[in-house]
């Protein structure tokens, strides 16, 4: 069964990157991109939008992979798995500080590649299967958080808006923030929290979800990986 899970392989050794790609494709991971430099890596992160990055610790220099990992942690929300043949204690300790989602060691074994990648894929699916629970009149609602476009404060109420329905709850945006995944939602304004993945356009003063314009207050620009 083919999967739409998108994987970016970042390794300056072309043969190794191609070998990993072939192994993953044999496991039905067919949505794969390759980068052989730091510049290519970030270009593809922004255009390809990978779900997972396989990242060689050592590229042009000893710590280039770690430096890329540090930038991922700072500016992106993408899990990464280190590709490594290293046994150097200092490098491994530095790598651990970046909190990778796993390691694949050289020489590669197919079962190790599959186990590391599948674990991340399963964890992402679990995170994305979160729900917001609330009452709508007398009904108990279990709303999948990935269907929510945004939440808007309105005095003592909030409006939780999906593409098909608006729920009005006697609650606060703080309650909404505490009960939804922090990686999915961003507060752009004192009156709005938006689902980052639903944003279709962004300016310095607004974000858009299709034709809906939502204001951004100073300092609250969401990071869209640009």
Among the residue ranges 55-64, 81-90, 132-141, 157-166, the one predicted with the least confidence is 81-90
Which two structure tokens, joined as six digits, stand for 173? 């945006």
Cis peptide before 167 (omega within 30 of 0): no
Please choose, from the candidates 109, 80, 74, 106, the residue with its C-alpha nearest in 3D space to the C-alpha of residue 95: 80
> Around Cβ 54, how many Cβ atoms within 10 Å?
26
Quick: pLDDT tens for 3-60: 678 999 999 999 999 999 999 999 999 999 999 999 999 999 988 889 899 999 887 7
Rounded distance between C-alpha atoms, residue 18 and residue 33, angstroms: 10
Cβ–Cβ under 8 Å, residues 27 and 114: yes
The confidence score (pLDDT) of residue 95 equals 77
């Amino acid at each position: 069964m083919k999967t739409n899970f998108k994987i970016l392989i970042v390794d300056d050794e072309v043969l190794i990157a191609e070998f990993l790609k072939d192994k993953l494709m044999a496991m039905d991971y067919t949505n794969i991109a390759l980068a052989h430099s730091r510049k290519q890596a970030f270009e593809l992160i922004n255009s390809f939008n990978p779900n997972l990055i396989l990242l060689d610790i050592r590229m042009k220099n000893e710590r280039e992979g770690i430096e890329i990992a540090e930038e991922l942690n700072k500016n992106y929300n993408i899990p990464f798995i280190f590709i490594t043949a290293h046994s150097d204690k200092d490098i491994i300790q530095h790598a651990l500080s970046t909190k990778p989602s796993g390691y694949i060691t050289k020489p590669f074994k197919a079962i190790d590649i599959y186990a590391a990648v599948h674990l991340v894929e399963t964890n992402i699916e679990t995170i994305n299967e979160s729900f917001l629970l609330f009452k709508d009149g007398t009904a108990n609602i279990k709303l999948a958080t990935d269907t929510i476009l945004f939440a808007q404060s309105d005095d003592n109420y909030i409006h939780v808006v999906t593409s098909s329905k608006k729920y009005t709850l006697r609650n606060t945006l703080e309650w909404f923030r505490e009960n939804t995944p922090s990686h999915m939602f961003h507060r752009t304004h004192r009156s709005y929290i938006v689902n980052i993945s639903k944003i279709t356009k962004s300016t310095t003063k607004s974000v858009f979800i299709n034709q809906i314009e939502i204001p951004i207050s100073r300092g609250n620009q969401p990071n869209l990986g640009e």
